[in-house]
């Protein structure tokens, strides 16, 4: 039964239901217009409310269970020792830095690539210790042979060392991190021929 707003005491159209004991009508839902379906029927509102209550209860139970598991005593064991990552031997210059210097035509020292290659090929167990670039000194590399013989070369960048690593398997280390090996230090100063 539909009751107009004036008869029901409201200023809009409402849908009412019968069946009250005292014979009055009760408003069950708000309607958009005469004969339209209700916007929120009570059945849907009750179902949504019950689902929300059930969801909150499930979350509360899960929170209580998980907090008990976290607080549960654990067997006493010594913590496993953490393996420290091996320090990187040398941090290569970024290619973008090399390209920027080439684009800006930043002058650098002349590289003695033939001398570097001759030292690497003519001696056994050669390692390269890279000395970082500073304001005063350019990037340089100290090549140290297995017997302690060494030679220093100035570099424009570390691109040629990358090539030697790929082609010859040259081991490259950072001199500021690792220092120089004892075999170089035992060699008399006159034997280390600087280029």
What is this structure's pTM? 0.51
* 3-class DSSP state of 147: coil
Query: What does the DSSP 8-state code read for residue 10?
Result: S
Number of domains in the chain: 2
Binning pLDDT at 50, 70 and 90, where does residue 87 land? low
Is the pLDDT confidence value at 98 over 90?
no
pLDDT of 11 = 46
Residues 113 and 185 in one domain: yes
Interval 31-35 mean pLDDT: 53
Binning pLDDT at 50, 70 and 90, where does residue 190 land? very low
In a domain, 109, yes or no: yes
Domain span at 154:
95-191
Rg of the chain on CA atoms, in Å: 42
* 3-class DSSP state of 60: helix
* 3-class DSSP state of 92: coil
Residues 44 and 119 in one domain: no
Is the pLDDT confidence value at 57 over 90?
yes
Which of 66, 87, 109 is the last residue in one of the domains? Answer: 66
């Amino acid at each position: 039964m539909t009751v107009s707003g004036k008869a029901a005491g409201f200023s809009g159209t409402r849908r009412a239901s019968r069946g009250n004991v005292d014979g009055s009508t009760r408003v069950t839902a708000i309607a958009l217009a005469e004969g339209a379906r209700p916007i929120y029927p009570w059945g849907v509102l009750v179902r949504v409310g019950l689902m929300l209550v059930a969801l909150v209860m499930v979350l509360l139970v899960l929170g209580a269970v998980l907090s008990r598991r976290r607080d549960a005593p654990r067997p006493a064991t010594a913590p496993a020792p953490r393996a420290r990552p091996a320090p990187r031997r040398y941090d290569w210059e970024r290619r973008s830095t090399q390209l920027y210097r080439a684009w800006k035509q930043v002058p650098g020292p002349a590289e003695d690539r033939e001398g570097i290659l001759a030292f690497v090929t003519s001696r056994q167990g050669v390692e390269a210790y890279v000395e970082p670039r500073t304001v005063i000194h350019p990037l340089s590399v100290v090549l140290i042979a297995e017997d302690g013989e060494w030679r220093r070369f100035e570099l424009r960048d570390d691109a040629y060392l990358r090539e030697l690593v790929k082609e010859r398997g040259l081991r490259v280390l950072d001199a500021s991190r690792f220092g120089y090996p004892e075999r170089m230090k035992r060699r008399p100063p006159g034997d280390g021929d600087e280029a």
